Amino acid sequence: MASAEVSNPYLPLLRSSSSAIFLLGAGISTSIGIPDFRSKDGLYASLKLEEYGLNAPEDLFDYEHFCASPAGFFKWSLDSLTLQTTGSKFHRFLSTLKNLHRIYTQNIDGLESSSGVPDSKIVHCHGSLQNSTCQTCNHKCPTPSFTGEVPLCPVPTSPLVVGPRTSSRGKKKQKLTCEGILKPDITFFGEPLQSVVSKTIGKDRLKSDLITVVGTSLKVEPFSKIVNCFEGKKVLVNRDYVGFPGEGRWDCVFLCDSDEVVEEEGTTWREVVKGVFLGRGGVWCEERYQKLLSKKKEKGQGQGQGQGAEPVVVETVTCDACMTKTGKPFYTCEICEGFDLCEGCVGKEEGGKRHRVEEGEDHRFRFCA
């Protein structure tokens, strides 16, 4: 294992870029009190399901659930959402970059724009809270203040004539409004990405020499696949290691908080393995890292061998809860590649139950015997 201590190795890499692209997740806002989704202290872990009429944490942003029962989302919005205008140190840093080509963000809070990044350089992959659209008449308007009630479309419909019809002077006109639900212009699960995403990727595909992925677990598709759309070096900035989506690899990894990676001084970085740097806010588990690499290698060995090739058979894994090696039988998550649990941990609070709280109820474990 490498152990050399170095000054911030990310900033020289960024400054050498002539055209930088950033892919951003919720982790860039945790330093200002906005929780991410899937960490142990994130939104999904703390969400009160019964209070908001949810069966699972993901229901909060599920389009079908919203259409059937929108009240829970707007009650949660009143309790938890603020249209904050002050970004983090990382947000402000982005606004100073002369070589910034584009930001692709999953975040819906609009803090990139309010921190000074030009709107022309921002692609809101999952939409924004700033505006809403009526689900009945498609009227668009600024998002009303969250009150806990379901906001209804104020657009007038055709006047309704009531009262006596024998005299025009006796007629009363009453304006009725559409009263369709005003849904914030954010992308819920079950909705396609904003159309501007694919159009802009097509323009940017060959225009960047550095792609930095910051503060995201890369668990949500199709956003997780965007990194593969660009040419150039691929860099990860995250508190813990995330495997590269697809067949490629990271050129460099910085395990830290997003604010930390833009500091000129204050952190001594340690190169824990080649190309992977650990800062003060990062989490490092070499066994987990090696496991992800071996899983990717095994997956690659099982491909391209022609029809009838034998699949790779994994006989021994490392439990991601107790970090001990275990043979069969064991349990593997059907969604998270390389996340395995031993028989002793799969039913424990810190094992299978915690994983499903953090990642979602759809993360079921398959029995491997």
CA nearest 220: which of 250, 198, 249, 193?
Answer: 193
Q: Is 319 among the annotated ligand-binding positions?
A: no
Q: Check: CB of residue 178 under 8 Å from CB of residue 153.
A: yes
Q: Is 137 among the annotated ligand-binding positions?
A: yes
Q: Is 153 among the annotated ligand-binding positions?
A: yes
Residue of 126, 139, 355, 363 with catalytic role: 126
Residue 171's CB: how many other CB atoms inside 10 A?
13
Give the three-class secondary structure for 102.
strand
Residue 172's CB: how many other CB atoms inside 10 A?
10
Q: Are strands 252-255 and 210-214 parallel, antiparallel or unpaired?
A: unpaired
Alpha carbons 1 and 139: distance in angstroms, whole number: 59
- Six-digit token string for 310: 């034998």
Q: Is 178 among the annotated ligand-binding positions?
A: yes
Q: Check: CB of residue 340 under 8 Å from CB of residue 333.
A: yes
Query: What are the Cα distances from residue 10, in Å, to 208, 237, 269?
Result: 17, 9, 10
Q: Check: CB of residue 35 under 8 Å from CB of residue 26.
A: yes
Chain centroid to Cα 302, Å, comes to 30
Alpha carbons 152 and 2: distance in angstroms, whole number: 59
CA nearest 129: which of 108, 154, 101?
Answer: 108
Q: Check: CB of residue 317 under 8 Å from CB of residue 332.
A: yes
Active site residue 101: no
Query: What are the Cα distances from residue 239, in Å, to 22, 102, 269, 276?
Result: 16, 23, 13, 12
DSSP string, 159-211: PEEES-SS-GGG-EEE--B---BEEEEE--BTSPPPHHHHHHHHHHTTS-SEE
Question: Binding site: which residues?
Answer: 134, 137, 153, 178
Catalytic positions, written as ranges: 126
Question: Binding site for Zn(2+): which residues?
Answer: 134, 137, 153, 178
